[in-house]
Amino acid sequence: MSNVFRDLLRKVGSGNHTSESLTRIEAASATKMMLLGEATPAQIGAFMIAHRIKRPTGEELAGMLDGFDELGGKLEAVAFDRPVMVLGIPYDGRTRTAPISPITALLLASVGQPVVMHGGDRLPTKYGLPLVEVWQGLGVDWTGLPLHKTQKIFEETGIGFVYAPQHYPLTNRMWDYRDQLGKRPPFATMELIWCPYAGDAHLIAGYVHPPTEKMFQIALSSRGVTKFTTIKGLEGSCDLPRDRTAIIGLGNGLATDDEGNVPIERLNINPREYGFTSQNTSLGTTEELVREIQGTLAGKPSEMTQSALWNGGFYLWRSGICPDIEAGIAKTEELISRGSLAQKLQEISQKITAISKLTFQPV
pLDDT tens track for 134-149 = 999 999 999 999 999 9
pLDDT digits (tens, 9 = 90+) for 148-202: 999 999 999 999 999 999 999 999 989 999 999 999 999 999 999 999 999 999 9
Label residue 356 by pLDDT band (50, 70, 90): confident
Q: Looking at the structure, do residues 142 and 79 belong to the same domain, yes or no?
A: yes
Contact partners, residue 164, CB within 8 Å, separation at least 6: 91, 118, 119, 120, 171, 172
Q: 160: left (phi > 0), else alpha (psi -120 to 50), else beta?
A: beta
The count of domains in the chain is 2
Q: Looking at the structure, do residues 114 and 187 belong to the same domain, yes or no?
A: yes
Q: Identify the domain containing residue 11 by its residue range.
A: 3-54
Q: Looking at the structure, do residues 165 and 84 belong to the same domain, yes or no?
A: yes
Angle between helices 3-12 and 41-54 (to 10 degrees): 20
Q: Looking at the structure, do residues 166 and 17 belong to the same domain, yes or no?
A: no
Domain-terminating residue out of 39, 54, 69: 54
Long-range residue pairs from 50-55, CB within 8 A, at least 24 positions apart, any chain: 50/9, 50/12, 50/13, 50/19, 51/12, 51/13, 51/185, 51/186, 52/181, 52/183, 52/184, 52/185, 52/186, 54/12, 54/13, 54/19, 54/21, 55/186, 55/211
For residue 262, what are the CA distances in angstroms to 172, 253, 320?
A: 33, 7, 20
pLDDT digits (tens, 9 = 90+) for 100-135: 999 999 999 999 999 999 999 999 999 999 999 999
Give me Rg for the CA atoms of the chain. 20
pTM higher than 0.85 for the full model? yes
Residue 363 scores a pLDDT above 70: no
Q: Looking at the structure, do residues 252 and 267 belong to the same domain, yes or no?
A: yes
Domain-terminating residue out of 15, 34, 54: 54
For residue 251, what are the CA distances in angstroms to 72, 214, 220, 224, 267?
A: 25, 12, 10, 12, 11
Q: Looking at the structure, do residues 40 and 59 belong to the same domain, yes or no?
A: no
Q: Looking at the structure, do residues 149 and 220 belong to the same domain, yes or no?
A: yes
pLDDT digits (tens, 9 = 90+) for 192-231: 999 999 999 999 999 999 999 999 999 999 999 999 999 9
pLDDT digits (tens, 9 = 90+) for 275-304: 999 899 999 999 999 999 999 999 999 999
Q: Looking at the structure, do residues 95 and 12 belong to the same domain, yes or no?
A: no
Q: Looking at the structure, do residues 47 and 66 belong to the same domain, yes or no?
A: no
Residue 360 scores a pLDDT above 60: no
**CATH code for the domain of 317:** 3.40.1030.10
Domain-terminating residue out of 54, 74, 97: 54
186 in Cβ contact with 64 (< 8 Å)? yes
Label residue 1 by pLDDT band (50, 70, 90): low
9 in Cβ contact with 47 (< 8 Å)? yes
pLDDT digits (tens, 9 = 90+) for 219-265: 999 999 999 999 999 999 999 999 999 999 999 877 788 888 999 99
Q: What percentage of the chain carries pLDDT values higher than 90?
A: 92
Q: Under DSSP, is residue 170 helix (H, G, I), strand (E, B) or coil?
A: helix
- What pLDDT score does 320 carry? 97
What does the mean pLDDT of the chain come to? 95
Q: Looking at the structure, do residues 46 and 77 belong to the same domain, yes or no?
A: no
- What pLDDT score does 361 carry? 58
- What pLDDT score does 173 carry? 87
CA distance 39 to 174: 12
Q: Looking at the structure, do residues 348 and 297 belong to the same domain, yes or no?
A: yes
Cite the beta strand spans of the chain per DSSP E: 84-88, 115-119, 159-163, 201-206, 227-231, 246-252, 265-269
pLDDT digits (tens, 9 = 90+) for 70-86: 998 899 999 999 999 99
For residue 211, what are the CA distances in angstroms to 56, 159, 269?
A: 11, 31, 20
Q: Looking at the structure, do residues 162 and 28 belong to the same domain, yes or no?
A: no
pLDDT digits (tens, 9 = 90+) for 299-339: 999 999 999 999 999 999 999 999 999 999 999 999 999 99
- What pLDDT score does 258 carry? 81
